[in-house]
Amino acid sequence: LISISSLLLGTTITISSSHWMMAWTGLEINTLAILPLISNPHHPRAIEAATKYFLVQAAASTLLLFSSTTNALFTGQWDITQLTHPTSCLLLTTAISIKLGLVPFHFWFPEVLQGSSLMTSLLLTTAMKFPPITLLLMASPSLNFTLLTTMAIASAALGGWMGLNQTQIRKILAFSSISHLGWMTIIIIYNPKLTLITFYLYCMMTAATLLT
């Protein structure tokens, strides 16, 4: 109950904040809330998945905080929509890509999903992607388009190719998620609302598959 309510709280804080520190706080609450759920069936594979997830997400959160602090240092702005410093834009694009699992930062996602239960996998592929995608939407004018486009094309291609090579359903869904995220991030440059519709449709399809 505490974990689920913390997940809801963390997501709500992130998606409703306009200040970088609040957004970061929400992401941290989310990360800490999902860890007990990943390691819930208490076996070595689940503990390994939880450890990998924690290390990657902690690194991404640190990078996000570093990006917003750098921007505040040079521009005096903590507002999410006012990210203008080029280095900050580059760091933010990288941080959110690590959080989402875009290529080349995708390596952790199939491993974590494989070590989790089906319901936790559902949370990881849908609910846990929502706050970073919201941040991506809010900061979309500030993002480094060259880096984002490169990662999006690589994700769409690699997600499809690697998915063909798998026999385990959770790994197939993990690579499907990477591929879908590639399409979502490439659309975000041109039409952010379309990205959100794509994300909702993806959530519905994934939920249907995993619940079945």
Domain locations along the chain? 1-211
Digit-coded pLDDT (tens) for 69-98:
999 999 988 999 888 899 999 999 999 999
Chain mean pLDDT for the chain:
93
Sign of the torsion formed by the C-alpha atoms of 65, 36, 131 and 54: positive
CB atoms within 10 A of CB 2: 8
In this model, does residue 189 exceed pLDDT 90? no
Return the pLDDT at 142. Answer: 86
So what's the pLDDT on residue 119?
Answer: 93
Say what the pLDDT of residue 41 is: 80
The pLDDT assigned to 8 comes to 95
Which pLDDT value is given to residue 40?
Answer: 85
What confidence tens digit (pLDDT) does each residue in 112-163 have? 999 999 999 999 999 999 999 999 999 988 888 899 999 999 999 999 999 9
- Amino acid 81: pLDDT: 87
How sure is the predictor about 31, in pLDDT bands with cuts at 50, 70 and 90? very high
Angle at which helices 169-188 and 86-100 pack, to 10 degrees?
A: 150
